Structure 1
Amino acid sequence: MAVTFSDIFKIAFAIILPPLGVLLEKGCGPDLCINILLTILGYIPGIIHALYIIFKY
Structure 2
Amino acid sequence: MAGTASMLCLIIITLFFPPLGVFLISGCSVDFLINILLTILGYLPGHIHAFYLEYVYYQNREAVAAQPAPGVYSDRIQRGGRDYGTIP
| Matches of 1:12 and 1:53, distance apart in 2 | 15
How far apart are residue 44 of structure 1 and its match? 0.4
Aligned to 1:9: 9
Partner of 2:40: 40
Cα displacement (A) at 1:4: 1.8
Q: Relative contact order (C-alpha < 8 Å, sep 6+): which is higher?
A: 1
Structure 2: where are the runs of 5+ without partners? 58-88
Computing the radius of gyration from Cα coordinates, the structure with the larger value is 2
Tell me by how many angstroms 1:26 deviates: 0.8
Flag as ranges the 4+ runs of structure 1 deviating above 4 A: none
Which blocks of at least 5 consecutive residues in structure 1 are unaligned? Answer: none
Structure 1 residue 5, shift from structure 2 partner = 1.0
Q: Quote the RMSD (CA, aligned, Å).
A: 1.0
TM-score of the pair, normalised by structure 2: 0.60
